[in-house]
């Protein structure tokens, strides 16, 4: 299950192409926050 979760977390980064490390970190933190406190 972890490989699937890791792939799902990386898909937005793969789809956007090369991004800066700072942007990747912001995206990762945003995804982590949503996972901890889902909306809706």
Angle formed by the axes of helices 2-16 and 21-36, to 10°?
Answer: 130
pLDDT at 1: 66
CA-wise closest residue to 8 among 36, 27, 23: 27
pTM of the model: 0.48
Query: Measured over all CA atoms, what is the biggest interatomic distance in the chain, rounded to whole angstroms?
Result: 31
pLDDT, one tens digit for every residue, the chain (40 residues): 688 888 888 887 677 677 788 998 999 999 999 899 877 7
Residue 14: count of CB within 10 angstroms of its CB: 8
pLDDT at 16: 67
pLDDT at 30: 93
Burial grade of 4 (CB within 10 A; 0-12, 13-18, 19 or more): exposed
């Amino acid at each position: 299950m972890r490989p699937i979760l890791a792939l799902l977390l990386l898909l937005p980064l793969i789809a956007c192409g090369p991004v800066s490390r700072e942007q990747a970190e912001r995206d990762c933190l945003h995804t982590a926050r949503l996972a901890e406190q889902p909306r809706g």
